[in-house]
Structures are given as structure tokens and as C-alpha cells.
Structure 1
Amino acid sequence: MPILSQAQSDEDALRYSMLGFGGTARSLGVANAFGALGGDFSSLAMNPAGIGIYRSSEFVFTPGLTHFDNQSAFYGSATNADKYNFNLSNLGMVFTNMKTGKANADNGWVATQFAVGYNRLENFNNRLIYTGFNDRNSLTSLYVEQLNANGGTNPGSVTGSFPFGAGLAWETYLINPNFNDSTSYYTEIQGGNIQQTKTLETSGAYDELDFSFGGNYGNKLYVGFTLGVPIVDYNAVVTYTEEDVQNVHDNFNQMTLTDQLNVNGAGINGKFGVIYRVNDYLRLGGAVHTPTALGLTDVYRSTMTSSLDTSGSYGYDSPTGRYEYSIVTPWRAIASAAITMKQYGFISFDYEFVDYSAAGFNFNRIGSVDDITLETALNNTINEKYTGAHNIRVGAELAYEVFRFRGGYAIMGTPFASGFAEGSADFARSTYTLGAGIRDEHFYVDLGYANTRSTEYDTQYNFSDGNGANEGATIDKTVSNFLLSLGFRF
């Protein structure tokens, strides 16, 4: 996430497209490989045909605890940061209508189901810190680039033209006009040689309200449809500092930039699914998720402070910005198979394809030339930078009387096209899961644990002309998710 967080970027589209692990503790315990199994509330968000498996009504809720741990490397310096988050992973009810006298029928409609509830599909909570000594450039070098572009900028226009960027540095005397040309500028922090530190604190989630309809035909064919209403709440605070730790600059001690971004919105999508029971031991499943249309609103503001050797300390606040736009996230296709061993358990497999290059922005609510130009540029970047990803989930459950023991493994493929990942930071995710539970006729309790690892990359700022490129941070990220599900059948 670059410092200039008020500007939309391709990373925003990826944030709302690359969804993680949520649902019930049972589903989590088998790495969410539930596409051909059903009979679990997480089916609403994966393969809605799974609610067709239900033969009774059910209420379930799942609280969770998530731990985020980040190991960052930046200019040769290693930093660790972590965060805990308590959350609600899901909550909902399934209502089942069994046809009288049809419970064991091999033709006709045996049962219909309706389900309503909430599933958390991505947890945005995180805490990231990295620090290092940059001997190349400063953030203020980027501001100078902004002001000197296209023939320069009149001093009286700096703050109004760049209220969230160069205007902040101008008002805190970190950049000044050249004596022989007042429309060109220089920075007090020439050539870098500063300690840079970035702290990113995020919160919020990508949740979904699901309304699902299912059916059981002849105890062989199960169908389902989910109308999904995703709800986005993303909050980020970026604190960025530069400090003259070696005292090499004549008129600079320290500067701090704080960016705040709040994103809220909602959307709509559809999910269609089918499960076919080949025999008592084999089930096959398939599901298609339509693209999700999200209407989002960004609210953002920035604050900068500076400490200078010769003239003291300064501070300046930007105005509060607000921008409305929409994002369409990609469609998904899921193919599943499961081997069931009656009272002994099951082994299940899911394959999912999602094309991240199909995501796109729409800024035409406002319709200005600048909006349309930015929209076109961003969508071209998404189409070029991202690609289709292959996700695989495998899980197993062993049953002994009322006890259940589970394990699973999942791979979420890189979203990047060839050549666009920064070294090993390809954002692919690898997840190991474990679970256990007790289930009887009217009540169950399940525990689930998932450990997800990925390598990511974060930049502080980028120069548009490619000069003085700033090194980013490589981040080894580990997310540990603990879920507890309580369910009641009636």
C-alpha cells in the first residue's frame, strides 16, 4: 500500500478479489474443501447446493480469534509486528422443509431449504512495520517531481493543486522554490541518507449477507442458489517517518506523514451450485460465482509535521477528501469431488479458478475527463499485471462415534502475471488446517485452526519517471485463525 493512500490503485481491486478463509470451524478444519459435501453453513458462500443436503433445520454461530504476524525486510533491516483480532466468522439459520413420505425417495423433490446468514470472507485486520536506512532518496523527492513536471508549478498553486501530496511538504517547509526559478523546487533532504519507517495499521472485513435456496431431488441431485450482499469495511492508518539519524542534512531533523483512509460500501453477486451423489461413496460438485459489483466510498485525510534545524517545527492538515466509485471483482468456478465412508468420515477435494485480470474500476459516476483517464489506466494495469489463478483445497474428516478429527491443506495461486511479482513476493498463500468436534443428533461443537503463510511486497512511494527508484519491503506474513462453532438442529 503506497503512502498516497487516497488514490485508487490496482492493489485495491486485488484486496476485494483475493478472499481468504472464513465460514464454520468444521469447514475450516478441512481447508474449506466442502464443495461436494454440503450440509455445512459455509456452503452458502462456496457451493450453495450444499444446503440441499440438509434434512433438518439448523442454527449456527462461529466466533473466532485471528493472529497476524509480519516479518519485514527493508534495506537490510528486519522488523516484526503482530496483531490479534476477535471476530465473528459466521452466524445464520437453515430452514428445511421435508416432503411428507419422501425422506427415502429416489425420485421427485425430497426437500427444499432456505438459509439466511452472515459469512466473513476476508479479515482486513493487520499491523505492519518496517524501517531501514535509505541512501538514495526521500519522499520529498517525489513531491519535487510532482511540482517540477509539465513546466513547473506556481508557488501560489502548490497547496491547492496537491493538497494530499506536495502541498503538505510545501506547508511544512520541506520543499522550497529555487532562487533562480520560483516554479521549480528542491527538497531539504537531498540524496536521501535518512532513516525511513513505515507503520501500517488496518482493520475491518469483507463480510457477506447470504440468502440461499436449495433443493434435494431424489436423494441424488442437490441444487442451490445464493444471493450474496457483500459489505466492505476497510480502514487504514499509515504513519511514515524520515529522520536524519546521521546528522548529514543542514536543515532537516525529522518529518512524519500520517494518512488515514476509510472505505465503506456494499455490493451484490450470485452463486449457483450443484452436487450429484454418484453412489453411497462418491459425490461430485460444481459451482459458479458471478462477478461481484461493489459500490464504494473512500474518505481520506493526511497530516504532516516537520522539524527543521534552523526554523523550528511545523504542521499541516489536508482537507478531508471523499470519492465514490465502483469495482467489479472476478467470477469464479469451482469443481469438487468427495469420497464418503458412511459413518467413518470423508476425503474431499476442491479446485477453484479465478481470473484476477477480469477485475475493473468504474469512475463514471462523476464522469470527468480525469476520472475516465484514470479508470482506463488502472483497468489496463489490472489486465496486464494480473492473471488467472488456480486454487486447490484438500481435506479429510475421521469419525469415531460422536467425535470428529479433521485436517486439510490449501494452495491459493499467485494473482500476478509472469514477471510482475517482486522476487519471491508473489502473494500466493499456503494453508495447513486442523480441526476436531463433537456431533450428535441435535447439537454440535467444532474447533478449527488454520495457519496461512504468504510472502508479500510493500512500497512506500514510486517515482513516475522511474528515476531514483525506492526499494520496497519484503514481508513474510503468517495468519493463524482459530474458530469455535456451536450448532443446534431442530
Structure 2
Amino acid sequence: MGGSFGALGGDFTTLSYNPAGIALYQNSELSFTPSFSMVETNTSVNGDNFTNNKFGSNISNFGFVFSGKNMDEEWKRINIGFGWNQLANYDNGIEIITENSTTSLTDLLLDQANGVTIDNLNSFGASPAFWADIIDLENNFVDTATGWYAFDNGNYISNVNPLSNKTQYHRIESRGNMGEYVFSLGSSYQEKIYFGATIGIPTIDYTETNFYSESNFSDTTVELSSFSYEENLIAYGSGVNLKLGAIMRAGSNTKIGVAVHTPSYISMEEEYSTSINTNWDNGDKLSESSPYGYFRYEITTPWKVIGSFSTILQNKFIINAEIEQTDYSFTTMYSDYYSFSEENTQINNTYTEATNIRVGGEVNLHPFKLRAGYALYGSPYKDKPEYETENYSAGVGIDFGGTFFDISYTLSKNLAD
């Protein structure tokens, strides 16, 4: 239903959006939702178009809601819920193979190196490139008295001719998700006003491998047959936030909801490494790796406000709508070891306020329920308003009397593509 459950309630995902939805449960419920995904990525390089598909499976949510007994005629039951909701899926893959006679990755590595002595080369790029012989000093004469290069003066050359035709291969694979453990509490007053609160524990788990290689050089004056460069990133973290929500009946079949999300305070850790491998015509192989990179920092996300509406028509049709407002420019990063002042200024200059809209509907054909939805997520970028995302969804549910089975399909499309 486009994710527009804010005023409808009674669905476990609402605990991460409008926690007042937990107060509408009249019975205890166990929820478990597996999901399967296919991400299609279209890329254009040097006039060639590439399409990559990434298939995956994961868990969208699991949790339990305990519905208590009515306390009195005014204040009804207290409901308690806990579990996990997936908020984002990072599974993706891109693979590109192309012929290029104008540029090389060594151009970037050479730019990193020029003007820098060997001991001060970038540990994750130019330094392993130098020791793997992709780049070299203009004069690499070694002084036998010192055992070191006599002309360590920051002047380098590339052992790859960028104008040589070559086969370039690039693969990026990412896996992981952003989820949230939720601990929620809700109650209702006269079954007219519903209140709820959620303590959220957001979690991030992200892994990326970036592999790049060049081979089949047409220029044979240098006896390098191929080289590869690989980056590995592991990022993980957790934090805390608070969500408050309320739902009010505006009639027997109509409800209006509002929710406020505090910023999430997330502690992040990153592990990073690179490696370079070269293969030479004479059979030699060189392999150089960067040192182990580790960094810890904190992120504060912006506030979020959500307004929602739902109505039931003829006891058969449900219509939901939801609007969400957040300002991504209020995201901040900080660390005890680094100021992040430049990055925070860039965030403020790059990102802006965005409006997200979600609508959905359901038709009750007992025991079947047919659902459809649409969502439009506004661009977070100041200078790129076209970077919006559309979601289309459809599904069917079956009521077995105490047990529910639902299946849905969601198509997500970036409008800038």
C-alpha cells in the first residue's frame, strides 16, 4: 500500500513510522516477513550501455505485539511490541567491460603521487601503485651507498600509456541493509485517540568491493600485461532515536495521524583496505596492499515529521495517504579525531529539504484482500531536483481467521535514470 500505514495502524511496520499504530491492535500478533529483491542498474560508459541485475533475499521485518486487557472504560488496553524492521536494502551490483584509448586509472594514481616523496605517498593508492611498479620515479636510480632512490623528488611517470588501447573491467558489489530494532508502547483513550512511542535502535551493515583492472594493452613498449586495483570497505554502526505518534478518529471510519521522529544518533565504524596486483610479460607478479584502515565517527540524522490520513468506504475499501517532511541538510558528522567541518559544510551546501508522499488502497473481498500503492520520494539534493524516486506496489492478502498471509510486489524507479 505504498508504505502509507501511518493513520491506519495495526501493521508492524508502523512501529517505525507512527508508533500510535500499535494501540489499534486488539489481539496479540506475531509477524514475520521475508522478501526477495531484484535490482536492475543501467550504466553508460564510452557510448556503451550496460544492464546489471542483482538478486537477493532478506527479512523485511519480524516482531511480536502483545495486546493487553482493557483497563477501564476511558483508557483501554496497553499494547507492547518489539522486533525489527528493515529500512533500506544495499544489495547491488555493477559490472562494466569496455575498450578505452584515452584514459587510465594510472592517471589518477599519478596525480596522487606527483610532488610527493615516496615515504609520504597515499597509503591506499599511490604508495601500493609505486611498489607494484604501475608508477615509477622519472629517474629510479638507486644510490648504492644509501640503498635508497637518489632522485626521490616527487617526479613520477606511469608505466601505462593512457593513449594505448586497453580493456578496462570494473565491478562494484555491495551488500547489507539498514534496519531498526523497535521497542514500542501504545494505548488509546475511549477508542478515539491513540498514542504510541517507539525507542528505535537503528543498525547499519554495509560491505562494498570495488574491483578494477586493465589488460590487453596495444602499446607493447612496456612489458606490463595487466594490473588490478581493489578497494574493500566494511561499515557498521548502531544508534538510538525516539518516535512519538498520535492517531485521532475524525469519524467512525476516518482517522488522522501525526508522528515526530527525533534525530538518530548513530556511532559508525569503517574498515578500509586496498590492494594492487600486476602481471608482467616475463611472468613476474607483484602484489602490494595498503595498511589496515579503521575509523570511528558519529552521525546525527535530521528530524522528521509525518502526517497521515485513512478512511474506510462501505466497509470494503480502504484509502490511505501520508506525507513526510525532512531536511537532509541538517545531517551532521563528528569525531574525537577529526573535525568534519569541511564535510558538514558540504552536506549543508549539497542537501535540502525533501517531501515524501505515500498513498495506497485496499479492497476487502473476504477472505482475500487486494492492495496497491504508490510512493514519491523527493530529491534530497539542492541542485538536482530530478533525483526523485518512485515506488509502485501491489499485493494480495488472505485471512485464514487468526492467521494472515500476504504477498506483495514493489517496483522502485529512480526518475533521474
| TM-score, scaled to structure 2 | 0.92
The 5 A counterparts of 1:7-26 are none
Q: Any residues of structure 2 matched to 1:423-462 within 5 Å, and which?
A: 426=387, 428-454=388-414
Q: What SS is found at the alignment partner of 2:222?
A: coil
Q: Could you tell me how far apart the structure 2 residues matched to 1:262 and 1:175 are?
A: 28
Corresponding residue for residue 138 of structure 2: 178
Contact 2:173–2:208 (Cα < 8 Å) also in 1: yes
Structure 1 SS opposite 2:155: strand
Q: 1:404 aligns with which of 333, 355, 369?
A: 369
Q: Are the aligned partners of 1:76 and 1:132 in contact in 2 as well (CA < 8 Å)?
A: no
Answer yes or no: is the 8 Å Cα contact 2:390–2:415 preserved in 1: no
Q: Give distance in 2, aligned partners of 1:249 and 1:211.
A: 66
State the match for 2:105 in structure 1. Answer: 139
Structure 1 position 188, deviation (Å): 1.9
Q: Cα distance, 1:137 vs. partner?
A: 2.7
Structure 2 counterparts to residues 360-379 of structure 1, below 5 A = 360-364=332-336, 366=337, 371-372=338-339, 375-379=340-344
Q: CA deviation at 1:251?
A: 4.2
Partners of 1:292 and 1:385 lie apart in 2 by 20
Q: Is the 8 A contact 1:36 1:285 kept in 2?
A: yes
CA contact (8 A) 2:31 2:64 kept: yes
Unpaired stretches in structure 1, ≥5 consecutive residues: 1-29, 103-107, 457-475, 477-490
Query: Which residue pairs with 1:153 in the alignment?
Result: 116
1:380 partner amino acid: T
Shift of 1:252: 3.6
Q: Which residue of 2 aligns with 1:162?
A: 122
Unaligned segments of structure 2, at least 5 residues = 140-150
What's the CA shift string for 1:6-44, capped at 9, x where partnerless? xxxxxxxxxxxxxxxxxxxxxxxx010111100111110
Q: Relative to 1, partners in 2 of residues 1:293 and 1:100: Cα closer, same or farther, differing over 3 Å?
A: closer
Map 1:223-302 to 2 at 5 A.
223-247=195-219, 250-302=222-274
CA RMSD of aligned residues (A): 2.0
Match of 1:59 among 13, 17, 30: 30
Secondary structure, aligned partner of 1:453: strand
- Distance in 2, Cα, partners of 1:175 & 1:416: 38
Deviation at 1:100, TM superposition (A): 5.2
Q: Structure 1: which amino acid aligns with 2:272? A: Y
Note the C-alpha offset of 1:192.
4.6
Query: What is residue 145 of structure 2 aligned with on the other side?
Result: none
Paired with 1:332 and 1:138, the residues of 2 have a C-alpha distance of 44
Query: Does the 8 A contact of 1:250 with 1:309 survive in 2?
Result: no
Letter in 2 for 1:132: T
Shift of 1:178: 1.8
Partner Cα distance (1:250, 1:109) in 2: 82
Q: Hey, what's the Cα distance between the residues in 2 that align with 1:246 and 1:42?
A: 57
Using the alignment, how far apart are the partners of 2:44 and 2:266 within structure 1? 34
Asked whether the 8 Å contact 1:244–1:252 carries over to 2, the reply is no
How far apart are 1:337 and its partner, in Å? 1.0
CA contact (8 A) 2:138 2:156 kept: yes
Q: Which has the higher contact order (CA 8 A, sep 6+)?
A: 1
Tell me the CA shift for residue 388 of structure 1.
Answer: 1.3
Work out whether 1:393 is the aligned partner of 2:354: no
CA–CA distance in structure 1, aligned partners of residues 108 and 381 of structure 2: 26
- Please name the residue that 2:52 is paired with: 81
Displacement of 1:235: 0.7
Please point out which of 313, 317, 321 is paired with 1:345.
317
Q: Distance in 2 between matches of 1:404 and 1:298?
A: 44
Structure-2 change in CA distance of 1:101 and 1:442 (3 Å): farther
CA–CA separation in structure 1 for the residues paired with 2:367 and 2:300: 44
Shift of 1:383: 0.9
| CA-CA distance at 1:231 after TM superposition | 1.4
Q: TM-score, normalised by structure 1?
A: 0.78
Report the Cα offset of residue 138 of structure 1: 2.1
Alignment of 1:51-130 (within 5 A): 51-99=22-70, 102=73, 108-130=74-96
Q: Report sequence identity in percent.
A: 31
Return the alpha-carbon distance in structure 1 between the equivalents of residues 221 and 249 of structure 2.
73
Work out whether residues 389 and 412 of structure 2, in 8 Å CA contact, stay in contact via their aligned partners in 1: yes
Amino acid at match of 2:199: L
Instruction: Confirm or deny: 8 A CA contact 2:71 2:77 kept in the other structure.
Output: no
Report the alpha carbon displacement of residue 244 of structure 1 after superposing the two structures with TM: 4.2
Alignment coverage as a number of residue pairs: 405
Q: 1:100 to 1:358 in 2, by over 3 A?
A: closer
Once the 2 structures are TM-superposed, how far is the Cα of residue 298 of structure 1 from its aligned partner? Answer: 0.8
Look up the match of 1:463: none
Q: Following the alignment from structure 2 to structure 1, what is the Cα–Cα distance between the partners of residues 414 and 27?
A: 39
* Equivalent position of 1:483 in the other structure: none
Q: 1:31 to 1:311 in 2, by over 3 A?
A: same
Aligned partner of residue 50 in structure 1, secondary structure: helix
Counterpart of 1:354? 326
Distance 2:157 2:91 in 1: 38
Structure with greater helix share of residues: 1
SS of the residue corresponding to residue 160 of structure 2 reads: coil
